[in-house]
Amino acid sequence: MLCGEYTLATESCSAATATILKCKRWQCDECVHMRLSMLRKLAYVGKPTAFLTLTASEEWQRDPDRCARKLKHSWSMIVQAWKRAHPKADIQYLAVFEQTKRGRPHLHILLRGPYISQRWISAKMNKYMNSPIVHIEKVRDTGKAAAYIAKYISKAPVRFDGCKRYWRSLRYAADWMVKIDTAVADKGSWKLLPALIECVASDYETSGWTVTWENEGTFNARAGPLSGPVAVGGWSEYRDWTLYRRFGL
């Protein structure tokens, strides 16, 4: 799906609103800024208390994708080991890959939870992938930490094979994600139109509705005394909100 190829619209007997359906792809010039903004917000609302960076030793330099997968697996093993050692402790995180100028992956992690020593993490990384060089520091300004982690992914938003660009633990930003899910669920009366928003606006105007643009991607329409039914050319209503949540607005 191309960005803006579909339009979301909702309509009553005398009023309507339509907006562009974004593709949310990192490669899209329109959506990458939105994705970065969402990442910065996600980093911030998780209220991290520490910032951790995991790197790989030189023996992993030949295959960046394999290295990234091993970094991801090693971090998962570290979290499991910590939870086994401290069953009552709660550790939440947001993990983001950076691609260096040499094409190598670094894994940056925002943590919320109890203190974890650099020495303990270093020992685990040495055990899992012979890479004991790690860096961890206390987060004193969550706003700066959020901007810092987003800066890395914006330099080279490359997805290593078999890995996501970023991922989070279940409760890192749970309250914020619930608000997003609730907002999406409230859009149950919207329909998905396989047409550019300019074409949808034209159909409303042709039917006698008055169209007012809020911005380049959203318009409102009102029916007048002589307005007729909107000629939407047999476009079918589509309520697959899995798709809506995937591409989201």
pLDDT digits (tens, 9 = 90+) for 120-179: 999 999 999 999 999 999 988 888 887 777 777 666 667 899 999 999 998 998 777 666
CA distances from 167 to 43, 63, 76, 164, 226 (A): 11, 22, 12, 7, 52
| Residue-range domain boundaries for the chain | 35-181
**Pick among 3.40.50, 2.60.40, 3.30.230, 3.40.1310: CATH of 35-181:** 3.40.1310
Question: How would residue 183 be classed by pLDDT, with cut points 50, 70 and 90?
Answer: low
For residue 96 the two structure tokens come to: 């983001």
Q: For 72-86, give one letter per residue: b (16+ CB within 10 A) or e.
A: bebbeebbeebeeee
Residue 135 φ then ψ, to 5°: -130, 130
- Report the candidate in 132, 163, 152 with the shortest Cα–Cα distance to residue 56: 132
The residue whose two tokens read 């034209």 is 202
- What percent of the chain is modeled with pLDDT above 70? 84
Entry pTM: 0.78
pLDDT one-digit tens code per residue, 2-45: 677 888 888 777 888 888 888 878 888 878 888 888 888 888 88
Q: What average pLDDT score do residues 71-94 get? A: 94
Rounded Cα gap, residues 180 and 155, in angstroms: 27
Average pLDDT estimate for 227-231: 72
pLDDT at 39: 86
Instruction: Determine the pLDDT at residue 36.
Output: 84
